[in-house]
Each structure stands twice: as structure tokens, then as C-alpha cells.
Chain A
Amino acid sequence: MKKRQRILMISLLAPALFVLILVMLYPLINSFVLSFYRYMLTDPQGITFIGWGNYVRMFNTVGFWIAFRNTLVYVGGLVFFEFVIGFSLALLLNLQIRCRAVLRGFFMIPWIIPSVAIALLTMWLFNPDFGVVNVVLRALGVISQPLGWLKDPSLAMPTVLLVTVWKFFPFMLVVLLAGLQTIPEDEIDSAKIDGANAVRRFIHITLPHMREIIMIVTLLEFIWSFQYITIIWITTKGGPVYATTTFPVKVYEAAFQEWNLGFGASIGVFWILFLLVFSIFFVRVVGGKAESKV
């Protein structure tokens, strides 16, 4: 019986594990190996082991450090603004009982619309000559000259950041709102009877209840934001100059435009190690505090 169960268990888990090994673990290990090779797809004869060569080149390239900085700005900006907007709206929606589900549904529309549609719409809205954003801002007197937005090196990053926040804040909103709804009513009611005002209730009841959810959802959003390339790739391709070149753009350019697969892999390896260290740090600091408080 015991043995039969073990066989059953393995045979149920095996197909999924096999696929994950094939498309995830094997390529992951392969990437680590590739990153130590000069591997140009355009030069199949010239594949040679070069040790830390790709890494030395990576750290000595100006473009890499610009991409690193841009990635931190883009990802940090996404998580921060998505969280602030998502949590504020979740608190707002949590106040009212009527139409809450319908409103939440409408707020989810940007998250559901495909990235490609969002990116094309961005190019149209922020078009320097005919875009409606320039028209509106000039009518309101915010700007006197039409701006280039995606074509201006100093404005391109804020523009793609704004649009990506707009696309992804609904996820934060939905998850945080669901978290708010699990807070027991009677705790809030008894705090009210004790005379605690809204701010005190927020700090002493809402936040402790939400800490775990906030930690998971911000960490996930942080990790996912690192991956996200679609809007940037379609609207700016990482430009103008290097203004919106982030890690995925850099890896993709190296691997699939210069066909330098080894160099692309080395940037990917740096990225995963950075994320791993950051996540452990994040879970220790934020999660550790949560445990000691509860």
C-alpha cells in the first residue's frame, strides 16, 4: 500500500516536473555555462571557453551600468507607484459596499488589455505632433511647447514608467482589497468603541493584518517588473540613446540582435544573483519584523 502510494505520487508529479526541468532548470544551468563561453550564433566555429571574459566585458561596459541604473529606476518606480496607487484605491473601495465589485472590475481593464495595445496607444497619445497629451497639457497651460516624450532622452523613462504603472496597478489593487476584506469587522468596531480614530485604526489594526500580503505582493511585483520588456521594446527599443535600456532589453539585444549569446547570458546571471540576494534581504528585513510583532 505504502509503495503503491509512492508510485502514484511520483507519477502524478512527474509530468509537471519533467517539463519544468526541460524548459526551466536545464536552460538555467545551460545559461550559467554559456556565460563562460564566447558563443556567437553568427560564428559557430568560434565557440570557445573564455572564463570570466563576458563578465569582465560586462562590468567594463558603460551601457551595462546605465542599464543597471535604469532597471532600478524602472522597477523601483513601478513597485512604489503601483503600491501607493493600488493601496490607496483599495482603501477607498473598501469604504463603500455598493458597486464595489463592479468598480473593481472597471479598474482592472488596463491589466486585461494586451501590452501591445497599450504600447501602440502610448505611441499615439504621446506623439509629439498629433498626440492628445500635448494638446491637453498645452490647453491647461502646463507646457508651452509640444514635448517629444518618448523621443526625448530625459522624458522617455518617466513616460514608459507612467504607462507601465497604469497597466499593472490593478493587480495590486485587487489583491490588497481582498486582503482588506479579510480583516475581522469586530476588531475595527471594538477599536471604534475604544475611541481610536481612523489613523490609529489603520496603524494598529489594518497594517499588522496586511503585512504578510503586502510583503508577498510587493516582492512578486518587484520580481515580475524585472522581467517586463514589452512596452519598452515596442515604444522605444531602449532608446533614445540608452534612456530606457533595462536588463531585459540589454540581454535581448546582446543575444538576439548581436547574436552574442554568451554575453547575453552573463547579464542574465548577474540579474538573477542580484534578485536572489535582494529577495533574501527583503524577506529577512520585512518578514522578520512581521514575525517578531505578531
Chain B
Amino acid sequence: MKTRTVGLISANVLTLFVLIIVLLPFYWMIISSFKPTPDLFKLPPDWIPKTWVLDHYQAVLRGGIRERVGFLTYFKNSLIVCLAVVAVTLILATPAAYILSRVKFGGGRTIINVILVTQMVPIVMLLIPLYIMFMKMRLLNTYTSVVLTYLVFTLPFSMWMLKGYIDTIPKELEEAAMIDGCSELAALWRVILPSIRPGLIAVSIVSFLAGWDEFIIALTLLSRNSMRTLPPGIVLSFVGEFQIRWGDMMAASVIISMPVVFASALLYKYLVGGLTKGAVKG
């Protein structure tokens, strides 16, 4: 028993040690965003800032006000795109997942194989014909083009994830509702939807994170500055300039990380549940 306790304590210490190493870079990101600019170039650096300033945050947020188009515009665009992606994904994936769950297609492995194959398609390659298509339809520089393209990755995994949740609901539940006079659609609405709420939340948060993170598609399809989302917006404002504004870059990084960190912390239970559902069930 004693060796077991010693083992557990050393396992705990080791875990904490690894965790500190994993999170240390973020400590540096945060303190760099609060250091006055001259202190950023001090060698050796201050491990804890001697003075804390909000200059960089003001510079990042002010950029959007003075230059008309800036950080706040990008933030608004990102928010619109991500919320639209979440809404469209839920509306399309839920009924489709219901059918995938209730109707048997071939062997049990067929659907996961199809999903795997969809993941193999290179998105930068799809972007080529999509770019031509959106150009002809005059949809470049619109939210529609980006939202549609994001469905390439949000839709397959959402259908797969939701199918996993619906599989766990016994068929008898809907049948009972139908005997009570519900139509199939009403049964889906009243019986299935409330029981897969954790799945719907999980799909929403994962789709939102994917949209918030996406860079190369937004960079390509939204070339007009006023339409840019946060990732390309930040990169094009801060990187490749003559003088790199490290403090502002770190402040911008902290700001774009905050919404997703808070949302994930709040919905943590659902996020983990969703991520593990598909794979663990096999």
C-alpha cells in the first residue's frame, strides 16, 4: 500500500510538472502583452513585469476606430461567420444524423469509412474550384462563401457525432410518441431533440471553435479588408510589417483567445463528451 501511495504522489508531481511546461508559453504571451514596449527588448527579460501597461490593448482596439476598418471589424466578421456556421451546421446535420442512425446502410463500418474519406479531401485543393465557382456567382467577399466552405469540415463530423448521440436513444421512445398520435417529424422534434441536447451543444462548440480558428479559407475568399475575419485580419495587420509590434501582437492574441477559452470552460463537459463520443464507441 505504501509503494502505491508513493507512486501516486510521484505521478501527481510529474503531471503537474508537465502541465506547467505546457502552459508556460501562454504565461509569456500574457505578460508580454502587458509590458511597456522598451521592456520587451530587455536582455535578460523581466520574468515578472516591473510595470504593467494597457498600451498594447489600447493600440489594438483603437486601430479599429481610427482607421475605420480594424480589429473590431474583424471581430464582428468572425462572430457573424462562426454563429452562421453553427446555425447552418445544426439545421443540416441533425435531421441527416437522425436518418443515418435509424436507417441501416450496409455494414456498421460503412458510414465511418465514408466520413473518413471525406476528411481525406484536401481543403486547399477544394478551394481552387470553389474560388472559381464563387467568383462566377459573384460571392467572393461575402459571408456566404466562407460559411458554405466551412461546412466542408463541420458537416461530416457533426453528422457523425450526432449520429452517435441518437444511437443511444431507444427506438421505443419515438414509437411510443407515435402511438400517442405524433407524426415522425413531431417525434423527432419532441423526443429526439431534447434528449440529444448535450450532443447539439457539443457540435455547436466544436463548429464554433473550428470557424474561429480557420485562416487560409478566410484569407483567400475574403480579400476585402472590411470583410476579413480575425485570423487573417490580425496576421495581415501585424506580420510582415517593417517594424514588428510584438506587444500589440501578443495583446491581439490574448483578445482572440479569450472568447473561446471562456466558452470552452463554460461548456467543458459537453465539449469533452462530444470529442470522445465518436471515437470511443468505435
Identify A272's interface contact among B11, B43, B44, B121, CB under 8 A: B121
Encoded as 1 (CB less than 8 Å from any B CB) or 0, chain A from 94 to 118 comes to 0110000101111111101111110
Contact A272 to B25, CB < 8 A, known contacts A12-B98, A19-B92, A213-B280: no
Interface-forming stretch among A57-65, A199-207, A228-236? A228-236
Stretch binding the partner chain, chosen from A48-56, A73-81, A152-160, A170-178: A170-178
Please judge, given known A-B contacts A130-B40, A248-B122, whether A16 and B96 are in contact too, CB under 8 Å: yes
Q: How far is the CB of B135 from chain A (nearest CB, A)?
A: 9
Which of the candidate stretches B58-66, B125-133, B164-172, B193-201 sits at the interface with the other chain? Answer: B125-133
- Tell me if B40 and A272 are in contact (CB < 8 A): no
B126 in contact with A31 (CB, 8 Å): yes
The secondary-structure label for the interface of chain B is: helix
Q: Which residues does chain B contribute within 8 Å of A247, judged by CB atoms? A: 122
Known A130-B40, A264-B125; judge A115-B213 contact (CB<8 A): yes
Q: Is the Cβ of B215 less than 8 Å from the Cβ of A24?
A: no
Given contacts A9-B99, A130-B43, A179-B280, contact A230 B8 (CB under 8 A): no
Is B216 a contact of A252 with CB atoms below 8 Å?
A: yes
Contacts of B128 in A (CB 8 A): 27, 31, 34, 251, 255, 261, 264-265, 268
Residue among B249, B268, B276 with the highest chain A CB neighbour number at 10 A: B276
Chain B residues closer than 8 Å to A107, beta-carbon distance: 19, 22
For B185, list chain A residues within 8 Å (CB): 8
Known A16-B95, A92-B15, A174-B272; judge A166-B22 contact (CB<8 A): yes
Q: Which of A24, A89, A93, A123 contacts B118 (CB 8 A)?
A: A24
A117 touches B253 (CB 8 A): yes
When the two chains form the complex, which single residue of B19, B91, B280 contacts A182, counting CB atoms closer than 8 Å? B280
The chain B residue with its CB closest to the CB of A248 is B124
Known A13-B99, A121-B250, A255-B124; contact A89-B234, beta-carbon cutoff 8 A: no
Q: Is B117 touching A252 in the complex (CB atoms < 8 A)? A: no
Interface pair A13/B282, CB less than 8 Å apart: no
List A contacts of B8 (CB < 8 A): 95-96
Alpha-carbon separation in the docked complex, A220 to B23 (Å): 25
Give A174 to B276 CA distance when docked, in angstroms.
7
B258 CB → nearest A CB, Å = 10
**C-alpha gap A226/B254 in the complex (Å):** 28
- Known A20-B155, A226-B122, A256-B220: A116·B256 in contact at CB below 8 Å: yes
**Could you say which of B43, B45, B121, B131 has the most chain A C-beta atoms within 10 Å of its C-beta?**
B121
Question: Does chain A have a CB within 8 A of B140?
Answer: no
Residues of A within 8 A of B268 (CB): 101, 105
With A227-B122, A276-B117: A120-B252 Cβ-Cβ less than 8 Å: yes
User: How many angstroms from the CA of A101 to the CA of B261 in the assembled complex?
Assistant: 16
CB-based contact A130/B119 at 8 Å: no
| B265 CB within 8 Å of chain A | yes
Q: Look across to chain A and name the residue whose beta carbon is closest to the beta carbon of B9.
A: A96
Measured in the bound complex, the distance between the Cα atoms of B282 and A276 in whole Å is 20
Judge if A190 is at the interface, Cβ distance under 8 Å: no
B interface footprint on A210-244 (CB within 8 Å = 1, 0 otherwise): 00110011011001101101100110000000000
Chain B min CB distance to A52 (Å): 18
On chain B, the residues within 8 Å of A117 by CB distance are 29, 252-254, 256-257
State the CA gap A115–B220 with chains docked (Å).
Answer: 17
Contact with B44, one of A34, A135, A212 (Cβ below 8 angstroms): A135
Q: In the complex, which of the residues A9, A20, A103 contacts B15, with contact meaning CB atoms closer than 8 Å?
A: A103
Partner among B12, B25, B126 whose Cβ is within 8 Å of the Cβ of A121: B25
Residue B52 lies at the interface, judged by CB distance under 8 Å to chain A: no
Q: Which residues of A contact B260 (CB under 8 A)?
A: 112-114
Which residues of A sit under 8 angstroms from B275, Cβ to Cβ? 171, 174-175, 178
Known: A93-B15, A96-B8. A227 touches B123 (CB 8 A): yes
Asked whether any CB of chain A lies closer than 8 Å to the CB of B77, the reply is no
Tell me whether B70 is interfacial, beta carbon within 8 Å. Answer: no
Q: Shortest distance in angstroms between B202's beta carbon and chain A's nearest beta carbon?
A: 12
> Which B residues between 198 and 216 are near A, CB-CB below 8 angstroms?
209, 212-213, 215-216
Residue of B nearest to A18 (CB): B92
Can you pick out 14 interface pairs between chain A and chain B where the beta carbons lie within 8 Å of each other?
A: A16-B92, A22-B148, A27-B126, A109-B22, A119-B235, A121-B29, A166-B25, A175-B276, A178-B275, A233-B216, A234-B235, A234-B239, A252-B124, A268-B128
